[in-house]
A and B are shown apart, each in its own frame.
Chain A
Amino acid sequence: MTKKIIACVLFFLLNSNVYAGPKEDFVAAVKAQCSKSDSEALSLATPGRSGTVFKFKLCTNPKVDVGKGCVISCSKAGAKIGS
């Protein structure tokens, strides 16, 4: 039982640091703009070209509806000096 618990903890710790780059920025934006928790924000990060992370990163529309009543603002890469 102890070994199983350790394995689960290790698995969780390893995976919690895996979402780097666009997904990390997405999670941070959802948490800041919609006051969601880390796990709630992560659950709204959907993959693929029609997913929320891609739409947030590409930012062809300034607002991205990520679900559960949360609409976040995104920024166009290279449009603002120093950001």
Chain B
Amino acid sequence: MKQMIFPIIMLLFTVNTHAQSLEERVDTIEMNQLLNTIRLNGGLWNEYGNIKREEGSTESTVDIFRMKFNLDMAAELSKKFSFYGRYTVTKLLNEGYSFSNDLSDDEDNNDASFSETGLSANDLFNDTRPTLERAFVNIGLTDNLIMSVGRLPTVDGPPEHFRDDSPRSGTYPKMGYSAALDGIAFTYNKKLGQAKNLATRFLYTPMVNTLRSSGFMQPVNDLTGTNLKEISDVYTFMLDYTDTNVSWADSYTAILQYVSVPGLEVANAQVDSDSDGTADLTAGTHITGDLSIDYTYINLHFEATNVAHTSLDFAVSVLLTELANDGSLALPAGSPFFGTTFGLAEDADKTANGMGYILALKYKLPVWNKPSIGLEYLVSDKGYFYVDYSNEDLLNFYGTLGNAMHLYYSQAIGDYSRVRIGYMSSETEYGNPTLSGSTVLGKRSDLTTKPKNTVMYVRLRSEF
């Protein structure tokens, strides 16, 4: 018995040492995992497109290859803190020549200059792209109230996600304000039942207009020396309801969005009488006036997936817009307008109302790998005003002043890739005002010659 005591003690000691070593190793692995706070995901698509434009007897065709890459970052450190970011790069494939549209030529041909940036391996040391598309934190103030601050996910909203069988990819409905906005948001999430959630959201996304000069931020003056507002307010209110447990479909979403941009000053517009891309600064050629615009819109969006369990997804989105002029502008006679044009009411202190809607349908075919066929149809009226700084299409589909149609076929390839073949067409029925003469900005016109655009494309997209 005594002979066994020593080995038993040694065994116990050894077992205890081995267990501590394992625990320490697990601790190390766990800590390394915890310290890697950012998770990376990404998406890449490559596309060939053919664009045809017809305007009266004039016809032109362009072939194009292009790509888009996004790198997504996520840090979900607790239920009350998370960070999301996205870097995006878009480019034409191997871009050689870049063309500028120089109207000063006697000919209609455009000047061409050789651009090296498309072929470089980023060794020109003169560019710091990619673009920061989103970078925001969600901070839980209470269990239901979340504050979000930063560059917010306001682009790529519904129903655009139908096209690639993706989940909803942005907060703002696509038929609204399609721009990456910076600001602050407060969201109150309320569960109204099992799988039913109502998010009430308020956002403030101000526009900042300052002049960088000599290393200082300075106020902006228009060409008459009038100080313009440095901050233009933009307010958004949203009701965003989702139910993922219904008897008549897989899920449905209903969104009501109201956006207000009060007092947006336009008086810093400039004249470019020789159309060389540089504003005139000589006396007597600048625009004078005190125009500011109140822009508001309401978007109503509804979508449902697998309606009546028929593999049909359905969405309708309606945009109601209102532009109100306060004050007016006067242009020197005969000077073409340099800058952005707006479809405004023809008289000072008047209001222009507009409407556009889109109907989106998608059907999952009951064949191998369940491909989808989809249709989008858009109609807008003369007063329709759509802000789009994130257009991914080869024509301005969502901003069409008239009608537009998109038909596509989407097929999964494995678990992470999808190919989409599509046809888009649009017909522009209304023209933006052409501004000249000593007159205020004018309303849109009915075009007698209606430009038509047709696009055919093939896109291969992967998400990982």
Contact = CB atoms under 8 A, between A and B. Distances in A.
A76 B415 contact: no
Interface string B144-181: 00111000111010000100011111110000000000
Nearest to B183: A81
A63 B170 CA distance: 17
B187 A81 contact: yes
B250 A80 contact: no
B84 interface: yes
B305 A33 contact: no
Interface stretch (B194-202, B216-224, B275-283, B438-446): B194-202
B166 A81 contact: no
Contacts of B167: 59, 61-62, 73-76, 79
Contacts of B305: 62-63, 73
A32 B245 contact: yes
B189 A83 contact: yes
B307 to A, nearest CB: 14
Interface string B79-92: 00010111000000
B416 interface: yes
A58 B170 CA distance: 16
Nearest to B416: A60
B260 to A, nearest CB: 18
Contact of A80 (B41, B153, B251, B415): B153
A62 B153 contact: no
Interface of B: 41, 72, 74, 76, 82, 84-86, 134, 136, 138, 146-148, 152-154, 156, 161, 165-171, 185-187, 189, 194-195, 199, 201, 203, 240, 244-245, 250-251, 305-306, 415-416, 463-464
B contact patch SS: strand
A76 B148 contact: no
A-B CB proximity, top 7 nearest? A82-B187, A78-B84, A62-B167, A82-B146, A32-B195, A76-B167, A60-B463
Contacts, number: 98
Given A60-B415, A60-B463, A79 B170 contact: yes
Contact of B189 (A34, A50, A82): A82
Interface string A47-79: 000100000001111110000000111111111
Nearest to A71: B250
Contacts of B185: 81-82
A35 interface: yes
A21 B84 CA distance: 17
Nearest to A80: B171
A77 to B, nearest CB: 5
Contact of A78 (B134, B166, B245, B464): B134
B328 to A, nearest CB: 37
A61 B86 contact: no
B226 to A, nearest CB: 36
16 contacts: A33-B195, A33-B245, A50-B415, A58-B41, A60-B463, A61-B166, A62-B166, A71-B250, A78-B84, A79-B167, A79-B170, A80-B153, A80-B168, A81-B187, A81-B201, A82-B138
A74 B463 CA distance: 15
Contacts of A62: 161, 165-168, 305
Contacts of A82: 138, 146-148, 185-187, 189, 199, 201
